[in-house]
Structure 1
Amino acid sequence: MPSPPRLVTVTSDNVEDACALRVRPDQDGLVKPVAWSLAQAYASPETAWPRLIVDDERIVGFVMAFLDVRFHPGEPDDRPRSGLWRLDIAAGQQTRGYGRFAVEAVNDELRRRGQTRTTVSYVPGEHGPERFYRKLGFRATGELSGDQVVAELELTDGSARIRIPARSSRQVECGRPGLSASRGNSLVTAATATASAGRASGWSSRSR
């Protein structure tokens, strides 16, 4: 019986294979390479949480969370947030549920760390991942990061509870993890917009 997918750390034994991970050619302009993400993780070890998605000993994707980042450091009531920074599913491994698995794994890690919400940002529109995130329980907060929508999922011990914060639209001017002003932190192909929540197809988070 095949084992379920799992997350593993990036090591000297698998880093070369990790950097060789590629999305589909039509997605190249929408995602940062894994090597780029690992360089950012190296430069920000206190913020980045990178992991490989492995299924049956094959690397099928890459996910990286951000931890305890303040989006509005100049505001006294600003709270640290944690959430999804990057998500890459390899070409040929898309539409198999690995995207949802990765999001849920990040949620579990954040719960373990005592967090109560998962944050993500994405470009809205026909080819964006809004439908995917909404099926997982994420709801827009009313904030914007450049041209991106900021969304959050409230976490409970074993499940997600939908929460829509009552706040007006505001512009987030921040280049920190999880909030990119260029091309979108989370991007998705048209296939994902019509897939079920358990079949995330070809989407990847990025930030500058």
Structure 2
Amino acid sequence: MIHLESIDRRNFYQVLELERPAGEPFVAPNSVSLAEAWLYRDENTVHPAAIYDDDTLVGFVMTHDRPEERIRDIWRILIPERFVNRGYGSGTLAILIRRLCADPDYDALVLSYVPGNAAAEHVYRKAGFQPTGEIDDGEVVMRYEESGQKHG
């Protein structure tokens, strides 16, 4: 079963060793992501997590909360090549969507992808994300809107 776990002493080095698929220029290495999370540690808005299938580490995800906008960004998702096309990306998105729907403080998930990354675009559209028409730092922005209003 796919689930997310905090990154700690037990899995830190395993997460660092996760590599993006060969020839995949679109996702930053986990060392960069974890360093960025460390930079924002005092704000408690950046949340890196290890993606597991039962006891097997299969990926990495990092979110960034923007509470003033009621938005949670999916900043990074990395699934190593040996685990690609097994539903781990989609499963991770489903977990994040369920968490969004259960959280009264947030209304939307936002993510972006580099134009030309057709695999990412396909997975995101399949999960219910829609293009916003925005381009952020050269990336196409997509949004998943929580359908029910949770605030007044």
Give the TM-score taking structure 2 as reference length: 0.85
State the one-letter code of the partner of 1:143: E
Matches of 2:57 and 2:88 in 1, distance apart? 11
Partner of 2:90: 100
- Paired residue type of 1:51: A
Give yes or no for contact 1:65–1:106 (8 Å, CA) kept in 2.
Answer: no
Amino acid across the alignment from 1:155: E
CA offsets per residue over residues 104-134 of structure 1, 9 Å max, x none?
Answer: 1122223333211111112233636222222
Q: Which amino acid in 1 is paired with 2:101? A: R
Aligned residue pairs, count: 145
- Contact 2:3 2:54 (8 Å CA) reproduced: no
Identify, as 1 or 2, the structure richer in helix: 2
1:6 partner amino acid: H
Provide the C-alpha distance between the structure 2 equivalents of 1:24 and 1:39, rounded to a whole number of angstroms: 21
Greater mean alpha carbon deviation, residues 107-116 or residues 81-90: 107-116
Q: Does 1:140 align with 2:131?
A: yes
Question: What residue number does 2:11 align with?
Answer: 14
State the alpha-carbon separation in 1 of the partners of residues 117 and 45 from structure 2. 31
Structure with more contact order per residue of length (Cα contacts < 8 Å, sep ≥ 6): 1
* Aligned 8 A contact 1:83 1:106 in 2: no
Alpha-carbon deviation of 1:48? Answer: 0.8
Identity %: 30
2:28 counterpart of 1:32:
yes
* d(CA) in 2 for partners of 1:126, 1:145: 15
Tell me, what secondary structure is at the counterpart of 2:140? strand
Gaps of 5+ in 2: none
Do the aligned partners of 2:45 and 2:66 also contact (CA within 8 Å) in 1?
yes
Match of 2:37 in 1: 41
Give the drift of 1:102: 0.9
Q: Specify whether residues 110 and 97 from structure 1 end up closer, same or farther in structure 2 by C-alpha distance, changes over 3 A only.
A: same
Residues 62-73 of structure 1 aligned to structure 2 (within 5 Å): 62-68=60-66
Shift of 1:24: 2.1
Distance change >3 Å, CA 124–CA 25, structure 1 → 2: closer
Give the direction of change, closer, same or farther, for the CA distance of 1:67–1:51 in structure 2 (3 Å limit).
same
Q: Which residue of 2 aligns with 1:74?
A: none
SS at match of 1:23: coil
Q: Which residue of 2 aligns with 1:191?
A: none
Residue 63 of structure 1 and its aligned partner are, at CA, apart by 0.6
Cα 1:150–1:54, aligned 2, differ >3 Å: closer, same or farther? same
Which residue number in structure 2 is paired with residue 182 of structure 1? none
